[in-house]
């Protein structure tokens, strides 16, 4: 058996999320279906770096699986892309160490959140960026950003439904880039709690509208209370961009 590491992109619009579930089309379901075809029906379970919710996109989700097929990485890419639906693409395949694990070996992740701030919205981005046509002060967002950096307990920025006990995470990078009406928030850290990026973005939108003071982010973190932070921003603006592993 050889362990393979796959890097995939998917358009989350047509999926009920990454993870396989009883009803609804899922990314994992499609991948496992194609791997089963290649393995003459035998089940080939895949493990991902983490789940993504319905509507959330990926430019660089990472998976691993084990296979006894003697196929080069280049052939894995071709064969899977020939079988997969058009809204999932395999970008890269590599042989991995048998100890490699898409989730447990990950040392960090990068997410991107896209906002379209135009008045009427962009018809081509309606599933790929969150439309936010209200006044936003970018300087207020820029003033809030440094308060998120570093190691904090992110309980206030985590879905109350999360069952994870340790809510301490480290954010290495958080940046707002503006290109006309298209705003992009990039965030990198050692790990993210359930809905964490979307709640940080929702809170930044409150900051940009003057509803939350940039300087009160630290207080908000200390409160460890989800109800103190902003709303969870919509799923369709979010992209899992990269997963980092130690070399």
Which of residues 75, 126, 173, 222 is near a copy of itself by CB under 8 A?
126
Q: Provide, rounded to whole angstroms, the least separation between the CB of residue 93 and a copy of itself.
A: 11
- 86 touches a copy of itself (CB under 8 A): yes
- Restricted to residues 104-123, the positions that interact with a copy of itself (CB under 8 A) are 120-123
DSSP 118-132: -SS--GGGTTTSEE-
Q: Provide, rounded to whole angstroms, the least separation between the CB of residue 123 and a copy of itself.
A: 5
- 198 touches a copy of itself (CB under 8 A): no
- 46 touches a copy of itself (CB under 8 A): no
Give pairs for 32-40: CB < 8 Å, separation 24+. Answer: 34/80, 34/83, 34/84, 35/65, 35/67, 35/80, 37/83, 38/69, 38/79, 38/80, 38/83, 39/67, 39/69
Which of residues 3, 39, 51, 89 is near a copy of itself by CB under 8 A?
89
Q: Provide, rounded to whole angstroms, the least separation between the CB of residue 138 and a copy of itself.
A: 23
Which of residues 43, 70, 124, 134 is near a copy of itself by CB under 8 A?
124
> Among this protein's residues, is 206 annotated catalytic?
no
Spell out a b/e string for 81-91, using b for 16 or more CB atoms within 10 Å of the CB, else e. Answer: eebbeebbebe
Instruction: Tell how strand 130-131 and strand 106-116 pair up.
Output: parallel
- 134 touches a copy of itself (CB under 8 A): no
- 10 touches a copy of itself (CB under 8 A): yes
Tell me the CA distances in angstroms from 193 to 59, 62, 155, 211, one per residue in order.
Answer: 19, 18, 9, 24
Tell me the CA distances in angstroms from 131 to 93, 119, 203, one per residue in order.
Answer: 34, 9, 16
Q: Does 194 count as an annotated binding residue?
A: no
Backbone angles phi, psi at 184, to 5 degrees: -125, 125
Q: Provide, rounded to whole angstroms, the least separation between the CB of residue 88 and a copy of itself.
A: 7
Instruction: Write down the catalytic residue from 11, 53, 153, 206.
Output: 53
CA distance linking residue 130 with residue 122, whole number of Å: 10
Q: Provide, rounded to whole angstroms, the least separation between the CB of residue 89 and a copy of itself.
A: 5
Question: By CB under 8 A, which span of 86-94, 144-152, 216-224, 226-234 interacts with a copy of itself?
Answer: 86-94
- 81 touches a copy of itself (CB under 8 A): yes
Task: Specify binding-site residues for substrate.
Answer: 111
Residues of the shown chain interacting with a copy of itself in the complex, contacts defined by CB under 8 A:
9-11, 57, 77, 81, 86-91, 120-124, 126, 128
> Which residues carry a binding-site annotation?
111
Which residues are tagged catalytic?
A: 53
């Amino acid at each position: 058996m050889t362990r393979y590491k796959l890097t995939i992109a998917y358009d989350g619009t047509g999926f009920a999320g990454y993870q396989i579930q009883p009803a609804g089309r899922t990314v994992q379901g499609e991948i496992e279906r194609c791997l089963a075809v290649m393995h003459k029906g035998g089940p080939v379970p895949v493990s991902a770096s983490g789940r993504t919710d319905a509507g959330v996109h990926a430019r660089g989700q990472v998976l691993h699986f084990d296979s006894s097929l003697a196929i080069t990485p280049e052939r894995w890419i071709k064969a899977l892309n020939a079988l997969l639906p058009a809204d999932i693409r395999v970008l890269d395949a590599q042989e991995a160490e048998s100890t490699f694990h898409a989730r447990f070996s990950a040392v960090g992740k990068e997410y991107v959140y896209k906002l379209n701030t135009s008045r009427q919205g962009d018809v081509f981005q309606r599933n790929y960026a969150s439309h936010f046509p209200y006044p936003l002060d970018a300087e207020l967002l820029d003033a809030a950003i440094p308060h998120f950096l570093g190691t904090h307990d992110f309980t206030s920025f985590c879905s109350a439904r999360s069952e994870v006990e340790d809510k301490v995470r480290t954010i290495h990078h958080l940046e707002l880039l503006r290109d006309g009406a298209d705003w992009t928030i990039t965030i990198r850290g050692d790990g993210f709690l359930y809905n964490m990026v979307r709640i940080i973005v929702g809170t930044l939108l409150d900051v940009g509208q003057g509803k939350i003071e940039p300087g009160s982010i630290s207080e908000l973190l200390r409160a460890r209370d989800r109800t103190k932070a902003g709303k969870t921003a919509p799923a369709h603006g979010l992209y899992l961009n990269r997963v980092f592993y130690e070399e």
